Copies of this chain bind each other. A is one copy, B any other.
Amino acid sequence: MQDPRAEILRKAAELFAQKGYSESSLNELARAMNYSKGAIYNYFSSKQEIYDAIIIFTLTGLYETAAKAVKEADPPVERLRHYMMAHARFLADNYDCFVTMLVGFSGMANAELKDDALRLRDAHEGLLRQILAAGIADGSFRGIDAAMTGRAVLSLLSWMVRWFKPGGKKSAEDVAQDYFDLVLRGMQPREG
């Protein structure tokens, strides 16, 4: 096993997403991985610590994936599209982590990590607001409220975890493209 820590997180997210956090145990996790419980304790001291690590992993990856996608794109409309696509793709690729996170963002125990999680979430939202502000500034978007519009975009993407299943007819990026088309026109200036 290349990276046991990452593998434990992946398997734990699968278990939490399937059975719920409260109903899952480290014994089950160890069994599912063909690990001894002691082997897991080499990396994490508790189920709660694993849960917290999943949240941080998910939010870090989400932000970094979006930031990377946006960096390559220009102008603001394209950056918005790349942001939405990257978010949707990362959600599909890490579906169990998102289900785990949705079940209880507030369930994190480690206060410091909780602050980290909030910072990461804010960074991801901040990236989007910057794109919107740039588009308002250069006239790509009408004088929308960047905070409200950013929240709308993230609501669309975040709620996917409640209904979208990877491997279906539409990919996560197909859905993101539909949403992009829908909100883009609401954000553009009226055509003269």
Contact = CB atoms under 8 A, between A and B. Distances in A.
Contacts of A151: 163
Contacts of A163: 151
A94 interface: no
A130 B14 CA distance: 37
Q: Is the interface of A mostly helix, strand, loop or mixed?
A: helix
A186 interface: yes
A88 interface: no
Contacts of A184: 186
Given A182-B183, A183-B182, A186-B182, A156 B152 contact: yes
A105 B156 CA distance: 19
A171 to B, nearest CB: 14
Contact of A152 (B105, B144, B158, B182): B182
A181 interface: yes
A187 interface: yes
Contacts of A178: 145, 148, 152
A154 B160 CA distance: 11
A190 B191 contact: yes
Contacts of A182: 144, 148-149, 152, 183, 186-187
Contacts of A145: 178
A183 B107 CA distance: 33
Given A181-B186, A185-B186, A186-B182, A155 B149 contact: no
Interface string A169-188: 00000010011011111111
23 contacts: A20-B104, A20-B107, A103-B104, A105-B162, A144-B182, A148-B175, A148-B178, A148-B182, A149-B182, A152-B178, A152-B179, A154-B159, A155-B156, A155-B159, A156-B156, A159-B159, A181-B186, A182-B183, A183-B183, A185-B185, A185-B186, A185-B188, A191-B191
